[in-house]
Structure 1
Amino acid sequence: MTLPVIGAHIGVISEVFYQKLFAAVPSLRTNLFNRSNQANRTQQQALASSVASFATLLVTREPSDIDAIMARIAAKHASLGVTADLYEVVRTHLFAAIVEVLGDAVTPQVAGAWNEVYTLMANSLAEQESQLYQDAGVTDGRVWRQALVAAREYDGSHSATLFLRPLDGKPFRNHRPGQYTSVRIRFADGTEQIRQYTVTHGRQSGEWALSIRRVRGGLVSSILVDKVEDGDQLAVSHPFGGVVIDNDDAPLLLISAGIGVTNTMATLQHLATYNPGREMTIVHVEKSAYEHARRIEFSTLVKALPNAELFLRYTDYDGMHDDGRNPLTRVPLPTDAHTYVCGPVEFMRSIRLELISAGLSPASIHFEAFAPGSWLGLESEQTPVP
């Protein structure tokens, strides 16, 4: 059993790996990987968690479970335009890091076992990403197109909504409620950074709307909120993401906090057109009405859905109980509901515990989280998701 040999050192290995990778291919550090996540070490932690979780699943679960778990990462990679050749670059520097950290402990048996783990993981991701590109009707990695900022409006004290139209006049690809697009920003020094934002419908047919909240110290969000103007152009990707609302008729429970409201907005827009009579319970938590992005449109959509019940909670939140109140108090929770949650990670963890305590099945509770490694522990009690 070689899992403990590398698993015990995977955090250090991840650090050394990124040092080697970025030294060999500097553009990956400046243009592809999130610089903020590199600085606060969450990128390194996410890699360690991903590899360790995948290896654990190989020896503890059915192989058929693995592709579903990799689907989140594959969708994120597709939105970045990652292609299969990158996995061989990663393999080279990952195994160089393993040898540097573990030295003689890397026996042929250990090296062979972990090479197999990496190959299975890389193949799973590459195959799913290739299928995503095929479904999008694009060549592998060719996901980018130019969009015109048709309008922008401040949306609360820390947010803005950008209304985008295709620059070439060809309609945007239809998105499913809950999918996201990547936005690529070029800086004055020629380097780039990419971030993901939930896609919602704009005010006109064929228009996308992206609502962005300024992140403290954020390299991209501050530009999108404060500097992008009408008439500017942005590079955006095709829509990706598998945490989408199903087409079932089962009751829906939609829970959001902060800018996570955009996932709920996308769902409400979709249901208003395709299934307005679906039963749904909506809970949104925000610091104040002034902070509530898309507040008027949100309220208008809810009122137009005859079987929708809304619970607004305007209060400070970092975790669910910071002010001594539970946002789910006095909210009827149908135990057969399909539940979708989007917000700060600690908020989602707290909500999950409350929902399971109320009798909802862990398998029926779905989460959207964009921070690297933040899916861990959210999908179910039994299955870690890297």
Structure 2
Amino acid sequence: MLSDKSRPVIEATAAVVAEHMPEITPKFYAHMFEAHPELMDGTFSRANQRNGEQAQALAGSIVHFAVHLLEHPDTLPETVLARIAHKHTALGITEDQYQIVYENLFWAIAQVLGDAVTPEVAEAWTEVYWLMADALITLEKDLYAKQANDKMWTDWRVASKEPTGNAAVTFRLEPADDTPQTPGQPGGYVSVRIKVADGLRQARQYSLSGDAAATDHRLITVKLDEAGEVSPVLIQSVEVGDVVEVSNPYGDITLQDSAAPLVLMTAGIGITPAAAILSALAEQRSDRAVRLLHGDASWDSVALRDQVLEAVQALPDAQADLWLGVVPEQAPEGVTVHEGQVDASQVELPAGAEYILCGPLAFMQSARSSLIDAGVPATSIRYEIFGPDLWLAA
């Protein structure tokens, strides 16, 4: 895939570029937003710029792509590309924006690396960039083509707000006009875009926490991040009857048509996509072996707990194990409660299972390591991460 001319140049410079990416990407974003401030209004997350997470994720994805081209010249890192493409389409990224990114990124590379960026080096890394960009553009065009409409954003009215768990609220959204809507998939998500305190529009992704395939409503569950820009507005200021902008549904970590056992390992608000998956399986009257392993502060902290319990009890071969910081005096019916943090070694896992992880990054890294140590193939483990993929960046 990478040309014979560029390969030795990338081999010789990959380590240097990777080493300096933490310096390159902040310069890139600052320069791009100065030239194109409109990109901060409803497309890029201002919070992820402030905390540096978006810069880390971009650096990780580019370096990962370049290294993959060197180590696996006949393939592309499809899993990584799919994850990025779904995030992009949920934000309405367009093909012309890749040229803007290219111009500003390579300006930043030249600023940081200086004379080391010879014409040969610039040409080779340009090839890497456009190989990655063209692959993403192709994936994103295909995703956009599957929408039931040709709009990036449509208006949805808040029909209800219901508190659930600790500092979380489930929103029921209903279409505010007659735009055809795209069915979602259990485990998928939508972006919600609203105006924040200073009038700037900001978008965040939220899992479809139930009725994922419905087109006459969307259910999302939002946990309050007191330091955030969007969740406080949604929870504290957006009222029933208000209208918000919502994207079409996307997501690459969704329920697959499979007979294999399924293990959902979650923590905190990471239970939201698992809740949708469990509800979908219960509605299908699935006979799959399903195991939920969830960690939380207490039983009262568990978001969507009634929905999860109902689904688990409706499935013929489902079990739920909860690890809680504070153990209730009486365990809820149908749930086995443990004290402490999620520990898969304390339960019997079904052979040949597929695994989906969702929760804080440290939790997922620990869970994945314990599963691999227990002999689970890495290819059987998928993860959903909220926000930029810092796991890849690491």
Equivalent pair of 2:194/2:201 in contact (CA under 8 Å): yes
Check conservation: 2:166, 2:303, Cα contact below 8 A.
Answer: no
CA drift at 1:280: 0.9
- How high is the sequence identity, in percent, across the aligned residues? 39
Name structure 1 gaps, 5 residues minimum: 317-322, 377-384
User: Which position in structure 2 is the counterpart of 1:33?
Assistant: 44
Q: How does 1:58-97 map to 2 (within 5 A)?
A: 58-97=69-108
Match of 2:276 in 1: 266
* Correspondence for 1:107 among 118, 121, 127: 118
Counterpart AA for 2:66: A
- Using the TM superposition, give the Cα deviation of residue 68 of structure 1 relative to its aligned residue in structure 2, in angstroms: 3.3
Whole-Å separation in 2 of the counterparts to 1:105 and 1:26: 30
One-letter code aligned to 1:52: V
Q: Deviations over 1:290-329 (max 9, x none)?
A: 111111121111111111011122227xxxxxx8654324
Q: Counterpart amino acid of 1:153?
A: E
Alignment of 1:329-368 (within 5 A): 329-368=345-384
Matched-pair contact (CA < 8 Å) for 2:43–2:93 = no
Q: How does 1:207-222 map to 2 (within 5 A)?
A: 207-222=217-232
Q: Does 1:184 align with 2:208?
A: no
Which one-letter code corresponds to 2:297 in the other structure? K
Distance in 2 between the 1:29 and 1:73 partners? 18
- Which residue identity is paired with 1:235? E
Which aligned pairs between 1:241-256 and structure 2 lie closer than 5 A? 241-256=251-266
1:340-361 deviation digits (Å, cap 9, x = unpaired): 1111110001101111111111
d(CA) in 2 for partners of 1:157 and 1:8? 41
Could you say which residue in structure 2 is the equivalent of 1:128? 139
The 3-state SS of whatever aligns with 2:182 is: coil
Task: Name the SS of the counterpart of 2:69 in structure 1.
Answer: helix
Give a deviation string over 1:227-275, Cα, whole Å, max 9, x none. 2211111110000011112111111111111111111111112111224
Q: Name 1:319's counterpart in structure 2.
A: none
Report the equivalent of 2:208. 199
Count residues in correspondence. 370
CA contact (8 A) 2:183 2:215 kept: no
Q: Is the 8 A contact 1:76 1:241 kept in 2?
A: yes
Deviations 1:183-242 (A, max 9, x none): 001135331110001113359983221111111301111112222211111110000011
Aligned to 1:313, what secondary structure does the other structure show?
Answer: strand
Aligned partner of 2:388 in structure 1 is 372
Aligned to 1:55: 66
Q: Distance in 2 between matches of 1:190 and 1:325?
A: 41
Mapped partners of 1:154, 1:216: distance in 2: 16
Q: Single out whichever of 36-45 and 119-128 deviates more from structure 2.
A: 36-45
Q: Does 1:285 align with 2:295?
A: yes
Structure 1 residues 280 and 61: alpha-carbon distance in aligned structure 2, compared to 1, 3 A threshold: same
Cα gap change, 1:324/1:271 in structure 2, threshold over 3 Å: closer, same or farther? closer
Match of 2:3 in 1: none
2:22/2:55 contact within 8 Å kept: yes
Which one-letter code corresponds to 1:369 in the other structure? I
- Does 1:42 pair with 2:65? no
Conservation of the 8 A alpha-carbon contact between 2:155 and 2:246: yes
| TM-score of the pair, normalised by structure 2 | 0.89
How many angstroms apart in 1 are the aligned matches of 2:195 and 2:255?
Answer: 33
**AA in 1 matched with 2:378:** P
| 8 Å contact kept, 1:149–1:164 | yes
1:185, 1:234 within 8 Å by CA — same for their partners in 2?
yes
For 1:209 and 1:363, locate their aligned partners in 2 and report how far apart those are by CA, in whole Å: 30
Question: Paired residue for 1:23?
Answer: 34
Instruction: Give 1:61 deviation, angstroms.
Output: 1.4
User: Does the C-alpha gap of structure 1 residues 289 and 325 become closer, same or farther in structure 2, counting only changes over 3 Å?
Assistant: closer
- Is the Cα–Cα contact under 8 Å of residues 171 and 206 in structure 1 kept in the other structure? no
Distance in 1 between residues matched to 2:318 and 2:278, nearest whole Å: 10
